[in-house]
Structure 1
């Protein structure tokens, strides 16, 4: 839990527009478009699901890189609405996933997310049961290299999208 206390104030300052004095050469925000996706029945929901952005104004700023130049710490922000569709029935829901996140990409393939606001989270294995969720509030997600998602909600709610489009 201590880790999230350290990361979240940095995220709040960054999103408020503050930049450290040494960051005068920081790169600009760049588009970070979301690709459409499909998951088979049983992977997240009991039925096959398609997701695609209907609003996508997400931008990213790479704050630090690994020795090989790959991103290590990246901030994300911007409007994102994902249309999540049950491809068996055509039922769909437009999910607001316009949260902000500070993501640490680790060299072993794992990730640590400090999040404020709504983000779409797909869970196969984790502290939430299998599904697709909008998690909204202040929380962290620790994703292992194998994909296990440990969602720690400091002050957050979940909205089960599988239930919405069943």
Structure 2
């Protein structure tokens, strides 16, 4: 049953995201959000990250946004006020640097994502466009690495850290290969 539910969700979630982006926002989400602008959008800055050799690439990497105009809009919350469903959009260029050699690659990760934050700590993303995603060794259905995933797809982040990519249309670009 779980496989069927996920397969159906993987097919319908990007359609819901497309409807949302075309302006079909639920009435409850149309007002200003707490701390957000009059239209409910607020900045969602991307923090820098450092990964040791072997975690993502065979060498240590540093990721840092060089353009970050990503905004978020909370569409639904849990009774305690924490976000349950959030949409993210906006320009994002992330510089990924091999800290051993100084080689770097600017990844355009300006996709749009509808994220369902589940009460168990897992997340389900419905995405259109490019997003930078890392996979650890034996921690996902994609080999270890740092990838630019582009197209129409879903990502599931299990509470234990396992990541599952379901590409409906598109592909992946191995960022580690650009820095080796």
TM-score with structure 1 setting the length: 0.96
How much is the aligned-residue C-alpha RMSD, in angstroms?
1.2
1:29-84 deviations in whole A, cap 9, x for unaligned? 11000011101111111110001001101000001111221111000000000000
Stretches of structure 1 lacking an aligned partner (at least 5 in a row): none
Residue 53 (structure 1) aligns with:
65
Report SS of the residue matched to 1:33.
coil
1:60-116 deviations in whole A, cap 9, x for unaligned? 000111122111100000000000000000000000000000000111111000000
Correspondence list, 1:14-163, <5 A: 14-25=20-31, 27=33, 28-124=40-136, 125-163=139-177
Tell me which moved more, 85-94 or 4-13.
Answer: 4-13
- Alpha carbons 1:110, 1:143 under 8 Å: kept: yes
| CA–CA distance in structure 1, aligned partners of residues 42 and 156 of structure 2 | 25
Q: Quote how far apart the aligned CAs of 1:3 are.
A: 0.6
User: How many equivalent pairs are there?
Assistant: 166
Residue 3 (structure 1) aligns with:
9
- Alpha carbons 1:7, 1:114 under 8 Å: kept: yes
Tell me which moved more, 17-26 or 3-12.
Answer: 17-26
Stretches of structure 2 lacking an aligned partner (at least 5 in a row): 1-6, 34-39
- Alpha carbons 1:26, 1:63 under 8 Å: kept: no
| CA–CA distance in structure 1, aligned partners of residues 106 and 28 of structure 2 | 40
Report SS of the residue matched to 2:17.
helix
Q: Quote how far apart the aligned CAs of 1:21 are.
A: 4.2
